[in-house]
Structure 1
Amino acid sequence: MEMQNLTKGRTGGINLTCGMSGSHDFIFTLVPIVYAFNFVIGIIGNSMVVAVIYRYMKLKTVANIFVLNLAVSDLTFLVTLPMWATFAATGYQWPFGGFLCKTAAGLVMFNLYTSIFFLTALSIDRYLAIVHPVRSRRFRTVAYARITCVMIWLSASLLSVPIALTRDVHYIENPKTVVCGVLHPTDENIKRLDNLLLAISLMKSLLGFLIPFVIIITCYCLIGRALLKVKHIQKSSGSRDDEVLYMLAATVLAFFLCWAPHQVFHFMQMLTQFVLVDNCTVLEIIDTAMPFTICIAYFNSCVNPIVYSFVGRNFRKNLLRLLRCSPRGIARPHPSISSKMSALSFRASEALSLTVKNNVSCDAK
């Protein structure tokens, strides 16, 4: 919970100059229901992804490693949703203490960074596999993928530490309640804390959304151009190419739709925080919209398994095998999640090389 326009009370509590902005009964009812839905669907979907990849598809491809780590990241975040659901259902009352307040807030940002970083890494891997299948072969190895995952986990951990340090339990005097929110500045640390909160907000907007989104869009635009070029050269290319294009489009669309609303209102909230907007109406609009944008952002943890795994035929086959408790062995090996893209990469490079050869032969004549 972002607390703004606060003043210290005589008894050590905090008074809100605009009251409990954004506190409405329909929020306290609807948001916990959405959180519960996200929790159930997310836990089931991501657990299936982990089980299927670990049991049947193995960690022998770069794509499988990234998708598995993405699912683990989502599971790590989803375990905090019951606490946030309780927080919303009780009218922003935090009964879990200061340690869990810091931990839950840190895990939210940890999931934000790990999810987007893994999506970006997966997008770069798809770009290299499709557009530069031969030259990128020595870089697209399991060892490099695991090193990348370690770097992502460490980077996300470092970026989420300031979030945890600036969150704590606060006692609100009017109305009397206990919330989990941003630290309230004192006369001694107001400038330092404001600078820290500004840096955290900028990192969340830039590293947590804008820069990865630009990289993802760039990768998929280059992929789309390469696929269209191949399709123009090979008139026989059929629905498999279209399915790959649809999958890529769904990835970008899901990423944008889930995170863009929250990032927009987060930016507006950052402006009101540092431009010192005292208009309670503006703060009311932002604080009322924020819980719903957060719900949409959290839904990304449910969408990821669908976009990256459930659309694949081989995943569905392996999922049915898992549900039937089929043994691992005596089954023909299944391609990885990225098998269609890899096959398309080969056809693309083959078609492009044939075009180059034809042009060279024409010049020789």
Structure 2
Amino acid sequence: MNNSLLLINTTTIKTYEADVSDVTTNIIVQIIFYIFYGIIFVIGIFGNGLVCYVVIKNPHMQTVTNSFITNLAISDILLCILAVPFTPLYTFIGRWIFGKLMCSLVPYIQGVSIYISTFTLTSIAIDRFFVICHPFRPRIKIKNCLLIIGSIWIASIILTFPYGIYMNIQELYYCEENWPSQKLRKIFGSFTSILQFVLPFFSIAICYICVFVKLNNRSKYKPGFKSSKKEEIDKERTKKTNRMLIAMVTIFGCCWLPINTINIIDDFFADVSYIWKHYRLCFFISHCLAMSSTCYNPLLYAWLNDNFRMEFKKVLPCFDSVTFNLTTKTTTTTCESKKNYNKNDSKHGNIIFSHIAEKSMIQESIQLDLRTTSTTPFQLEFKNINQDILEKRKVTNCIVSKTFKNSFK
């Protein structure tokens, strides 16, 4: 077993050299896998590198949620560099050619990266749970967020440390685990799978289920003054958010369940690679799925965020048309629903926003990271809505923005 979940075991490598019936010995199959790994490497490095660049370059993007997303991007970059190329090369070549130091270092950093990734995803889920389900609870400050991130790194380094110790070069050509006993190996393997997958998966699922229920309950609130168009927009936004929540849980499970299952089987049934001739094929398919998470994470946690998209299009203008079309559609509908208000309606601005503020906070908090300040939650949400309308959507004649500004005079 490889407790980093990413290096195939030595027994499998040895049987691989002699087993010509295994489809992964076919050069065409190997080329296909190399292509998949190449695509994952390029997209993973590019997408996560872009996330890091945007956050580091723009101080206004350095918020609590974005700090977690950046930490996730860094761990994904490490996976792309140390897991995507080494695993297929080691298996297809049939021997470890990267030296003794790399034999200990590569699997160790792989394990650390996975811990960082799963712990960070869990932290993001917990943070969103409190923002949406407990909107009046003060958010953690950026300083505390950085302490949490530091703790994640320290815990990941410590938890993976035994694996770095027991990975050594065996029989000159094979990089494998050399545990004092098989019992200790099984215990550590099970412990690793629980901490790297089982607990994070259930924590993420529970948090997002609570968010899902909260959003659905809020969508049932129908104030009498709300227009049908506004109501339809809110319902559609809730559905979109719910789909995104389901996608987050589903993708995490689909990406990491197969590789964990393969390695647990390998831990407790050491001869599986001899008995099951398609073991290596299943390993590489599950490994590709696990590595593909480095491509999905920037999409789910950054691209679907309006603020990130705005910064992305500044770096890469090709993003501009997609973002413009999306925001224009939303802005036009919002303004049209309010265009029948006259000037006398401005006095009702505070009442309108007082009724919709809590629901707006809950729905927008998935995509907007609210800074922790001394202001009240409602004032904080008002500022975010104002900035969203005036700066991002460029609405100049919309009565909503006028009413909003008047409410703070």
Fold shared per TM-score above 0.5: yes
Partner of 2:86 in structure 1?
83
Residue aligning to 2:136: 134
Amino acid paired to 1:323: L
Q: How do 1:338-357 residues align onto structure 2 when only pairs under 5 Å count?
A: 338-340=366-368
Taking the aligned partners of 1:242 and 1:197, their CA distance within structure 2 comes to: 45
**Which residue of the partner structure matches residue 9 of structure 1?**
none
Aligned residue for 2:198, secondary structure, equals: helix
Which residue of structure 2 lines up, in the alignment, with residue 333 of structure 1?
none
Q: Map residues 263-274 of structure 1 onto 2, 5 A cutoff.
A: 263-273=260-270
Aligned residue among 176, 185, 191 for 1:181: 176
AA partner of residue 245 (structure 1): N
The 10-residue stretch of structure 1 (145-154 or 31-40) with the greater mean CA deviation from structure 2 = 31-40
Which deviations, in whole Å up to 9, do the C-alpha atoms of 1:150-171 show, x marking residues without a partner? 1100111112222222222233
Alignment of 1:1-365 (within 5 A): 1-4=8-11, 24-25=25-26, 28-56=30-58, 58=60, 60-80=62-82, 81-89=84-92, 91-135=93-137, 137=138, 139-171=139-171, 178-183=173-178, 192-234=180-222, 236=231, 237-273=234-270, 277=271, 280-282=274-276, 284-323=277-316, 338-340=366-368
- Kept in 1: contact 2:16–2:25 (CA 8 A): no
Q: Greater RCO between the two (CA within 8 Å, min separation 6)?
A: 1
Which one-letter code corresponds to 2:81 in the other structure?
Answer: V
CA shift in 2, pair 1:249/1:75, >3 Å: same
Structure 1 window deviating more from structure 2 (197-206 vs 121-130): it is 197-206
- Write the deviation string for residues 129-166 of structure 1: whole angstroms up to 9, x where unpaired: 0001112x1x5221221111011001111122222222
CA distance in 1, matches of 2:365, 2:113: 22
Shift in alpha-carbon separation, 1:226–1:266, aligned structure 2, 3 A:
same
Equivalence for 2:387: none
Are 1:31 and 1:88, in contact at CA under 8 Å, matched by a contact in 2? no
Q: 1:87 to 1:221 in 2, by over 3 A?
A: same
Name the CA distance, whole Å, in 2 between partners of 1:249 and 1:16. 40
CA 1:305–1:171: 2 relative to 1, 3 Å: same
For residue 181 of structure 1, report the CA deviation from its aligned partner: 2.4
Structure 1: which amino acid aligns with 2:263?
Answer: H
Identical-residue share of aligned pairs (%): 23
| Stretches of 4+ aligned residues off by more than 6 angstroms | 15-18
For residues 305 and 253 of structure 2, what CA distance do their matches in structure 1 show? 22
C-alpha distance in 2, partners of 1:337/1:73? 24
Residue 127 of structure 1 and its aligned partner are, at CA, apart by 0.1
Structure 2: distance between partners of 1:116 and 1:45: 18
Aligned partners of 1:66, 1:225: CA distance in 2, in Å?
24
Task: Give the match's secondary structure for 2:118.
Answer: helix
Match of 2:341 in 1: none
CA contact (8 A) 1:130 1:342 kept: no
Q: Aligned partners of 1:342 and 1:221: how far apart in 2?
A: 21
CA contact (8 A) 1:5 1:17 kept: yes
Structure 1, 119-128 or 102-111: larger mean CA deviation:
102-111
Structure 2 stretches lacking a partner, 5+ long: 1-7, 224-230, 318-363, 372-376, 383-409
Give the total of aligned pairs: 311
Q: Give the C-alpha shift of residue 16 in structure 1.
A: 6.2
Give TM-score scaled by structure 2 length.
0.68
Q: Equivalents in 2 of 1:303, 1:65: separation in Å?
A: 18
Displacement after TM superposition at 1:5 (Å): 9.1
Question: Are the counterparts in 2 of residues 58 and 64 from structure 1 also a CA contact under 8 Å?
Answer: no
Alpha-carbon shift at residue 108 of structure 1 (Å): 1.6
Say what the alpha-carbon RMSD is for the aligned residues: 3.2
Distance 1:94 1:32, change over 3 A: farther
Normalised TM-score (structure 1): 0.76
Counterpart residue identity of residue 69, structure 1 = N
Rate the CA distance shift 1:341–1:318 in 2: closer, same or farther, 3 A: closer
Q: Which runs of 5+ in 1 are unaligned?
A: 7-14, 173-177, 186-191, 325-335, 351-365
Deviations 1:50-109, CA, capped at 9 Å, x for gaps: 1112223645421111001110111122222333343244x3222111111211111221
Preserved CA contact (<8 Å) 2:272 2:279: no
Shift of the 302–57 alpha-carbon distance from structure 1 to 2, 3 Å rule, reads farther
**More moved, 109-118 vs 25-34:** 25-34
SS in 2 for 1:263: helix
CA distances 1:170-203 after superposition (whole Å, capped 9, x unpaired): 337xxxxx232223x6xxxxxx332331122112
| Conserved 8 A contact 1:62-1:141 | yes
Distance in 2 between the 1:227 and 1:27 partners?
46
